[in-house]
Amino acid sequence: MNIKEKYTVIRTIYFALLSGITLAFFFSQDVSLETIGKISKDQYIYLLIPIVAIIISQLFFEYNVKRLKTKNENKFAEYQTAYLIRWAILEAAAFISIFYLQAPQINVIIIIAYFILIYPTFDKFKQVIGNY
């Protein structure tokens, strides 16, 4: 498998997870512009869900990628695992926010926006993996 095929695998997983979160959000809740931004005083604590998920996923990812730079073998599997752990943490936070009725809808919007921001680019992939 060449490097473009390996990148395609990661990108396909990324889009599958992003579309799953997005579809679950829109089909499970009454989403409208009026309800997305509404947060009651009791719901402010639930804003910690996406914030903590983003911080933890970023820390795990950076730790795994830093460890990866010292390895010579099986970089692709390790890099893919780093991304999967990162995305699993974010997906769990999104589904908790979707199905826990007390959590505000903005939680899922924050996670989806962050998910879009961490799109795995080919240049970054090539830089970490090299010509493996």
Are the C-beta atoms of 105 and 112 separated by less than 8 Å? no
Q: What is the pTM of this model?
A: 0.87
The residues spanned by each domain of the chain are: 3-129
Are the C-beta atoms of 128 and 7 separated by less than 8 Å? no
- Band of pLDDT at residue 101, cut at 50, 70 and 90: confident
d(CA 75, CA 80): 8
Reference 13, options 79, 103, 97; nearest CA is 79
Helical spans, DSSP H, in the chain: 3-28, 33-36, 48-68, 75-99, 106-117, 122-129
Query: Could you tell me which residues come within 8 angstroms of residue 126 by beta carbon, excluding any fewer than 6 positions away?
Result: 3, 7
pLDDT, one tens digit per residue, over 5-42 is 999 999 999 999 999 999 998 888 777 666 666 777 88
The mean pLDDT value for 93-103 works out to 85
